[in-house]
Amino acid sequence: MTRRRIVYFAHSIRSDWNNGNAHFLRGLLRGLGILGHAVTALEPADGWSYTHLLGEGERGRHSLAQFAATYPELDVRTYAGAGDPVIPELLGEAEIVLVHEWNDPALIERVLALRAQGGFRALFHDTHHRASSSPQQLRRLHVPAFDGVLAFGEVLRRVYRERWGAGRVWTLHEGADLSVFRPRPGRTPERDLVWIGNWGDGERTEELQQFLLAPACDAPAREALIYGVRYPEEGLHALARAGVAYGGYLPNLEAPEAFAAARCTVHVPRRQYAAELPGIPTIRVFEALACGIPLLSAPWRDAESLFGPHDLLWAHPSAEMTCRLRELLTDTAARAQRAAEGLATVRARHTTLHRAEQLTAICEEVLR
């Protein structure tokens, strides 16, 4: 395998505060390094997620220290605005430059201008629904000027091909970093249910009530606990009414312990992925299954058959969710079977090393 010099521009690798992209990208960059590539990640020194993480005080500082200790091999550097001279210095020897969709338009313009002067190829990496839901926002990012697009689902790849006229688009799903997300044998669950996720900016408010809070209240789920950030007052009141505890921000590197402390978890997709972009699970699905916890899912269509029929336990109307949750909590054997099958599927098909291998093949195709 040819060793390539790769640069990745992310909103943040260091901070996972309201930044689920960091979960996958950390593992992806590690995977590229395992395959022998020389990888450098660049992020703004004062990015939105990073500054909010610092606002968490000691917990935020602990999260940054955890990241540094867990991923010591990652070369993550910061820059001060699109005009920072460190950018052309690092891109001068790059062969592949990847730019995540959560980047400033001025930074993207700088990267594309440098590509015109140098010899690297530039790929746009999209892990959001804006190409479908808010195309006017995406137009500011000059996507057609890139050498290709990485889309985190086949349906999004088709959006780029059919609506945007992009000629070179590849599907690159997210995946779980098994060096971090793995079962904790011998850990005795102390609560029935845990859910890790943000309120969602109105994108799944009703769904959270129907498929998480109401079933947790009606099942009932003893010691149910929710972690996340950006919960408005109405959201906190909804948790209190359902008798669900709120744990606030949880560093993603502590998620495996949180999953190990519960008997099951729930997947509640945002509306855009359930309705407009079927077939795209969130990173939490891969991570939860990799940790060996049974996962009960609200409705979404696995359009690409990413999972087997018994990897997840599906429920469609909210009343069915309550029944399914009650069944899971009372059937130890069923929980063990679901957990084992989901874990096997992730290990076989959906790890960050799998994605790094796919990305390597894409890079070789682009360079040819």
What is the edge-to-edge ordering of all strands in the sheet holding 5-9? 75-79, 38-44, 5-9, 96-100, 121-126, 148-151, 169-171
* CA atoms within 13 A of residue 235's CA, in its CB half-sphere: 22
Rounded distance, CA 226 to CA 210, Å? Answer: 15
Question: Alpha-carbon dihedral of residues 157, 160, 165, 170, nearest 10 degrees?
Answer: -40
Rounded distance, CA 74 to CA 82, Å? Answer: 22
Rg (CA), the chain: 20
CATH code of 191-349, in short, is 3.40.50.2000
Mean pLDDT split into 10-residue runs, the chain, 368 residues: 94 97 98 98 98 98 98 98 96 96 96 93 94 85 95 94 90 98 94 93 89 91 94 95 96 98 96 87 96 96 95 90 94 96 98 98 97
* Fold match, 5-175+351-367 / 191-349: yes
Token pair recorded at residue 75: 């070369």
Highest CATH level, class, for 5-175+351-367: alpha beta
Secondary element (H or E) of residue 194: strand 191-196
For the chain, the distance separating the N- and C-terminal CA atoms, rounded to the nearest angstrom, is 14
Q: How many helices (H) and strands (E) does the chain have?
A: 17, 13
What is the model's pLDDT at position 99? 98
Token pair recorded at residue 308: 């087997």
Q: Where are the domains of the chain?
A: 5-175+351-367, 191-349
* 227: β partners: 196
What is the model's pLDDT at position 1? 72
